[in-house]
Every structure is written in structure tokens, then in C-alpha cells.
Structure 1
Amino acid sequence: MTSATARVASAVVAAAALALTGACDSGGDGGSPETTRPSASGSSGSPPASGSPSLSVSPTPTGTAPEDPEEAEQEIREAWRVFFDPESSLEERSEVVESGEQNSLMIDNLFRDPLGSRLRATVASVSFITSGDATITYTLTRDGRRLDTGGPGAAVLQDDTWKIALDTVCALTRHAEDAPEAPSCG
């Protein structure tokens, strides 16, 4: 490969990386992009134009994505659906949260709380940071009204299962009247 060809190839790779970085940081929360796993929950962007959630394009497998990113994304979306479903039991919710069994009291308090029990979330997109960490962009609502939560959520691979990151659930407690964070929250 000639040096001119190598420079062109490097420029193309750099442009693609910048485009991907910009696509991942379209949250509009005014903050800088995270370089580690997000620890806050939240929504970004504007709500979907219609009543149905928008679907993201699954990333192609890379050294940082899971082996089957489409399956991983489906598992993540299902975990979020179960967690926010008003019909889900405490056991079901705890199963979809990182270290959920050890933090079931916080999860129970969140969904027994008069305000927390009315929280709902719609996942807008899933972006893989590593093969075991993902950033989740979602819209958080209460009684159909969008809440500004200040950042993206996260999912982690724990025991070969994708779960909502504990840090995300910890951050959700601020949307309740009386649902304190668990001692394991950072």
C-alpha cells in the first residue's frame, strides 16, 4: 500500500469514528460524552413523534460489541420492559437488575412509592460500549409526561444475562417520594 493510500484509509477510518462518536453523543443534555459506563439514568433527545417507540439500528459485531448484538439488544429491551411493567412482581424486577436480589428492598420501595410506581420507560436505542456494557437511551415518563433525568441509562452483562445496571436503578430513586438508594449504590 502506498503512503498516499494509507493516509486516505486512515482519514476514512477517522471520519467514521467521528461520525459514530457524534451519533452516540446526541443526547443533548449539555454534558460531555462518557468515557466509562454511565452511572445515571435518563432520557435524551426528543420523544418519539408517534406513540410507538423508535427502533435503533443494531450495531455490527466488533471487538467491543457482543457476539450477537441483535440478540443482546432484544434481551436488554425485554429487561427494561419487565422492570417498568406495572404487572411485574418484585422477583421479576429483581431478576432483570444487576445484583437485583441483593437490592430488592430498594427496587420494592421504588415501585411501592406513590410516584415511583407510576414511572414508565421506553428504550429508544442501545449502544454497546464493550461486550458486557451498553448505554441505553430512553424516555422516562410518569403519567404520560416526560421527565428530564439528566443522562443515559446502562445495561450490563451479568451471569450471561443482560440486566439493567444497578447505577441506573439507583438514579431512578430520585423520582420517588420515599425510595432511598441501597447501600450498594455508589
Structure 2
Amino acid sequence: MGLSRRDGHPRRRIAALAAAAVLVVTPAAVACGDNGGGTESNRSPAVTQPSPPATDGGRTAGPADPAAARAEIEKNWTTFFDPEASTDDKVEVLENGERMRSVLEAMAGDPAASQTSAKITDVAFTSATEANVTYDLLVGGTPTLPDSKGTAVLQDDTWKVSVKTLCGLVKLSGNAVPGC
């Protein structure tokens, strides 16, 4: 996804970049890795490429209860991007959240974070433990990075925002964090 805006408002583009920068205020000395997920040099920084769907006899493999899984993903992503949510709440809904605590604490201390949120527009399961998530990154309620792509992972029986998603936004901000 390019950063050019359909409506041509440079201020909104700057606001979107500022919102992404909020996600990592300082290059924290925390590994952003997700157990081998890392990054791929051919990938756009804020966009992860969807995995091909896993199949099982011609059907896409997914969770046993896709509706419940989708609802949990939407709830947890909303919490993760909610400027009013506590760091503890965000740790709970981020893959390897405890390891990423210092990054989340840095985010919480930035005043611009109080205007950044996300709206989930689609969830597509690629396996029983992973899903591609399409969302609009909002600043002050206005979509600044519409149709952003991320992933959700099932970890410890909870659908969480993947570290790959966080690292994609970190890269968009222009900050370098070890492991991202």
C-alpha cells in the first residue's frame, strides 16, 4: 500500500506517519521478533503479504468457531489500538506482549497516541491459528491509512495482534528496533 492519499491531503499523510511513529517513540532495546517471523526485504514496511489459505479437502482451514474467533480478533485489535486501554491490557492482546512491554509503555507516554485508533474491516483465516486482518488506522477518528494489512495469531488460547503487525508499523515510522 502506498502512502499517497486518494484525497490528496498532505496533512492527513503527515498525521498518518505521526500515528505510525507513535507506535515506537524510541528505538527500544527490545526484540520485536516473533519467533522467526522477522521481515522480508521485498515486503512493504506497513503491509504484510497474506499467506495462501491452508486447505483441508478443498475447504479453508480455520478455527473451529470462526464467528467467535473473528469477534475476539476484532475486540482484541480494538483494545490494542485503543488510546484509553492500559499497557497491561495491550500486553494481553499482543503476541509476546510481555516481551514487548517497554515498547508499549513508550507508546502510552506519547500525547499523539491519544488520537490513534483502528477499525477492523475484514478478517480472513489462513489456518486454525492465523488470520489476515484488514483495518483502517485512524487519527482523530479519520482514516489516515485505510486498508492496512496485519495478522492475528492464536497464542495461549487468545487471538492476538501479531508482532509482525507492530513491526510493520514501527518500520513505517522510520525507527529501527532490533528484531523488526
TM-score, normalised to structure 1, is 0.60
Cα separation, partners in 2 of 1:107 and 1:114, compared to 1, 3 Å: same
Structure 2 residue 150 is matched with structure 1 residue 153: yes
Shift in alpha-carbon separation, 1:39–1:73, aligned structure 2, 3 A:
farther
Q: Does 1:172 align with 2:169?
A: yes
What are the residue-to-residue correspondences of 1:1-186 with 2, within 5 Å? 29=1, 41=46, 62=59, 64-148=61-145, 151-173=148-170, 180=175, 182-185=177-180
Bigger RCO (CA 8 Å, 6+ sep): 2
CA 1:103 to 1:182, structure 2 compared with 1: closer, same or farther past 3 Å?
A: farther
Counterpart-to-counterpart distance in 2, 1:110 and 1:172: 12
- Name the one with the larger helix percent: 1
Name the CA distance, whole Å, in 2 between partners of 1:138 and 1:175.
16
Query: Structure 2: which amino acid aligns with 1:68?
Result: D
Identity score, percent: 36
Is this contact kept in 2: 1:82–1:92, CA < 8 A? Answer: yes
- TM-score scaled by structure 2? 0.62
In the TM superposition, what whole-angstrom CA distance separates every residue of 1:40-81 from its partner, at most 9, and x where no partner exists? 656xxxxxxxxxxxxxxxxxxx45111110010011011011
Structure 1 residue runs of 5 or longer lacking an equivalent are 1-28, 31-37, 43-61
Q: CA RMSD in A?
A: 3.1
- Specify the SS of the correspondent of 1:75: helix
Partners of 2:44 and 2:158 in 1: CA distance: 19
Residue 107 of structure 1 aligns with an amino acid whose one-letter code is: L
Give ranges in structure 2 of 5+ residues lacking alignment: 3-42, 48-58
Using a 3 Å threshold, how does the CA distance of structure 1 residues 164 and 135 change in structure 2: closer, same or farther? same
Greater strand share, structure number: 2
Distance 1:162 1:40, change over 3 A: farther
Is the Cα contact below 8 Å between 1:173 and 1:181 reproduced in 2? Answer: yes
- Secondary structure of 1:125's aligned partner: strand
